[in-house]
Chains A and B, each alone.
Chain A
Amino acid sequence: MNIVVCLKQVPDTETQIKIGPDNKSIVTDDIKWVINPYDEFGVEEALQLKEKFGGEVTVVGMGPKRVTESIRTALAMGADKGILITDDALEGSDSLATAKALAAVLKDLEYDLIFTGQRGVDDDMGVVGPALAELLGIPNLSLIVKVEAAEDGKSVKVNRPVEGETLVIESSLPALITAQKGLNEPRYASLPGIMKAKKKPLEEKTLGDLGLDAAQFGEGARKLKILEMTPPPERAAGKIVEGETPQEKAAELAKLLHEEAKVF
């Protein structure tokens, strides 16, 4: 079973994010970059399927050269090869453009399954996976927490949680799965894995290599414009519920929840 995992590099959630002077972007200096956690679930699931069915796992990333580190991490976890789409003209691309670039790489690859994260933890758009499936004309199985491939490797049965219930979906292959938290616990890279990773192929491709027109990418081609970024409002101070007895306090709390917080 050949599997492709699309991987985005995002700021570590522990990094303190600063908004840039243009009020439309973040300052990227001093950011620690990591694999988007949802994509990491995709890497792990792909590796588990490969261990069962054989085949190859290819990791595809897009962005500046630093994304190589994240692809290498996935190779150290056990993926077989990596492809990085990197081109100055890609800077500032929106999700649809990203999906287009990924689709261009994928059309030349043999795959049974594609994993993306259900969303990137930076922009929280959740568009790339479905858009990519659409561009490739394959089924999109979104927000998946369990994947079972048929013994013959020709179809998958997947679980998606819906309102406390589980929706079980069966699909023919090839298909695209967007990974949700709960799918698995991603493994740690092993030391032999790390040593082997640097010998594994990691190819770089420009828009030109993919036969794409640079004018359709980057800031200028965005269909979705960012008008302004603002930091979240500062958390207001908490309130201590006063009262002589627990009963009084409970009554006061109920009143506050009703009148101020308006939760009921």
Chain B
Amino acid sequence: MAERFISERNLKFMLYEVFDVEALTRYPYYQEHDREIFDLVLTTALRMGKDLLQPALQEMDKNPPQFVDGQVKVHPMVRPFMKQCGEGGWIGAGAPFELGGQQFPLMISAAFRFILAAANYSASVYPLLTSGAAHLITSFGTREMIRTYVPKMFAGEWQGTMALTEPQAGSSLSDITTLAVPTDQGYYRMHGQKIFISAGAHDGVENVIHLLLARIKGAPPGVKGISLFVVPNKRMQEGGGLIPNDVNVSGVYHKLGYRGSPITQLSLGERDDCRGYLVGEPHRGLSYMFQMMNEARIDVGLGAAAIASAAYYAALEYARDRIQGRRLSAKDPTTPPVPIIAHPDVKRMLLFQRAVVEGSLSLILQCAQYADRMRVTDGEEKEDLHLLLDLLTPAAKTYPSEMGILSVSQGLQCLGGYGYCDEFPLEQFYRDARIHPIHEGTTGIQGLDLLGRKVIMQEGRALVLFCKEMEKTIRSGEEFAVLDPYAQRLKQALEKLKTITSHLVRLGEQKGAECFLADATLYLELFGIIAVAWQWLVQAVSVQRAFKEDLSDGERNFYQGKWYACRFFFHYELPKIEGLSRRLLESNGLTVEMKEAFFGD
């Protein structure tokens, strides 16, 4: 079993050299922090990953949660791990001091999560979901609600979830039917079904708190009638103690991968005794939930990159050890064979993985940096950062998710037949990675979100800001002779993005929404590749700066590796936008016109 799952050096490069997380500590909100603290966080996360999470990786896959007598039994490590996350203060790390948090920058929390997710994605999800749900309560809940739920959630004693999906309403949230009937007691009586609820019930915690979408009786149809509720599996009794809240688990699903965490089906109010507590205003639930969803979407991207990172290091270790074949130039069959890492095609596969993993991580940390800066700025600057974050979220979720699968696949390929067998972790990573284009909004939904909402909102202002950010990086790249060709390539790609966007908007005006959005997923793919190319140029600028310093051998190798991975992206990945743009610039609505009847035979 490969021991390494991430590169600490690379994380530090990103945090300190590329995104300058230390700069945040100049603002009063972050002034309690410094690099020494951040380093200690990373060291602790690495230890937790190595000692606590990685040893359970395969076990959790082979022994998935069991549904026994109405209870969901999870791996025994979940309870001590949640306790550790709670006692260690990791669940509430990002919350303000007054709420019991430590005001950690999101960049550092993201690095922490990346490490845990690379060690064992399934396990990392339990505290992660709890953080997100607690954040939703602290943002929109009443004081009373915060007091009741958040300390227990931060302590890792209670699990948090997001409960959106219903059997008949997955991607289309406007069709949810879970009903909330008002009472004069300050709570609502809840009735309905929720499915695919991650960690919706399990024996690793005392209680589970759902942040759940439902309709108040008589609410208007569509998204304007959706409200947000807190629905605990067990509710507080007057005078203390917990009693069941009529949230019934009707089953757990058996999954392809990501098996260490249960996804449950929940039935609410079978005995008409399920109480829900309204969060914020009625009918505004979806906009609240989007806060959690946007964070969760970026976390999905992070999880995808993390699994791909673990797969990369497993493949790298194998490629260095496995002796097979001779150099393509070697004519004599009696010469000794070489480790497969000597073969250019194996190096191509490894470089591809690095380009995806580190490019994805960079894009995610860029988003985290925007979010951190939002906290300490105001007015137009804050609004601009918000728009950038909104625009980039679909790409930060989708690029790592879709490309992560291909990246893990190439890692598996490096191992040949062994990669396909469960003696090596690659086959598990391959299965684990497959969830990411599906949960927290499928790739299709992300495409619609990007092209149908984010790109055109406020007359395209977010896209204008994004172009400005890229132009800034292009100018930095132009200052280095070796980077200039890549800056020019990015400039051309940016022009292409602008042309395609205007073309599609025009097409929409002429032929309607169906034609406009029919290839939104392709547009997202193109957008993602360009965004990651931008991030590789951002990294390359830091690499070239470092080359000017006096470097040890190990450090020089690190930056050389980065520089090769960067160029790999520009030479092997960025050209993929050519094919995409060719299609996107066509105007025939082929998929719109294709009829259901033609699919039969």
Contacts and interface: CB of A to CB of B under 8 A. Distances in A.
A23 B294 CA distance: 56
Contact of A191 (B4, B41, B43): B41
B47 A29 contact: no
A188 B41 contact: no
A134 to B, nearest CB: 34
Given A189-B44, A191-B41, A72 B36 contact: yes
Contacts of A30: 552-555
A191 B36 contact: no
B44 A29 contact: no
Contacts of A72: 36, 40
**Interface majority SS (helix, strand, loop, mixed), chain B:** helix
B121 to A, nearest CB: 20
Interface string A22-65: 00000001101000000000000000000000000000000000
A195 interface: yes
A31 to B, nearest CB: 9
Interface in B86-116: 87-90, 93, 102, 104
A188 B44 contact: yes
A198 B44 contact: no
Contacts of A197: 37, 40
B102 A192 contact: yes
- Interface size range on A against B: 10 to 19
Contacts of A69: 36, 39-40
Contact of B88 (A29, A32, A73, A190): A190
Nearest to A188: B44
Contacts of A29: 552-555
Nearest to A194: B40
B88 A198 contact: no
A14 B87 CA distance: 28
Nearest to A189: B44
A188 B37 contact: no
Contacts of A32: 8
Interface in B7-41: 8, 32, 34, 36-37, 39-41
B554 A198 contact: no
B3 interface: yes
Interface in B462-499: none
Contacts of B89: 190-192
B93 A191 contact: yes
Nearest to B4: A14
Contacts, number: 53
B108 to A, nearest CB: 10
B40 A189 contact: yes
Nearest to B52: A188
B112 to A, nearest CB: 9
Nearest to B38: A194
A194 B44 CA distance: 10
A144 interface: no
A73 to B, nearest CB: 6
B14 to A, nearest CB: 17
A30 B36 CA distance: 18
Contact of B3 (A14, A188, A190, A198): A14
B84 interface: yes
A128 interface: no
Contacts of B87: 190
Contacts of B90: 191
A73 B40 CA distance: 7
B48 interface: yes
A11 to B, nearest CB: 13
By CB atoms of chain B within 10 A, which of A191, A195, A197, A198 has the most?
Answer: A191
A32 B43 CA distance: 11
Contacts of B93: 191
A76 interface: yes
Nearest to B112: A191
A113 B37 CA distance: 29
A189 B84 CA distance: 10
A250 B41 CA distance: 52
Contacts of B104: 191
Contacts of B40: 69, 72-73, 76, 189, 194, 197
Given A188-B48, A191-B88, 14 more contacts: A30-B553, A30-B555, A72-B36, A72-B40, A188-B47, A190-B88, A190-B89, A191-B104, A192-B102, A194-B40, A194-B41, A197-B37, A197-B40, A198-B36
7 contacts: A30-B555, A69-B39, A188-B44, A192-B89, A192-B102, A195-B102, A198-B34
Interface of A: 14, 29-30, 32, 69, 72-73, 76, 188-192, 194-195, 197-198
Interface of B: 3-4, 8, 32, 34, 36-37, 39-41, 43-44, 47-48, 84, 87-90, 93, 102, 104, 552-555
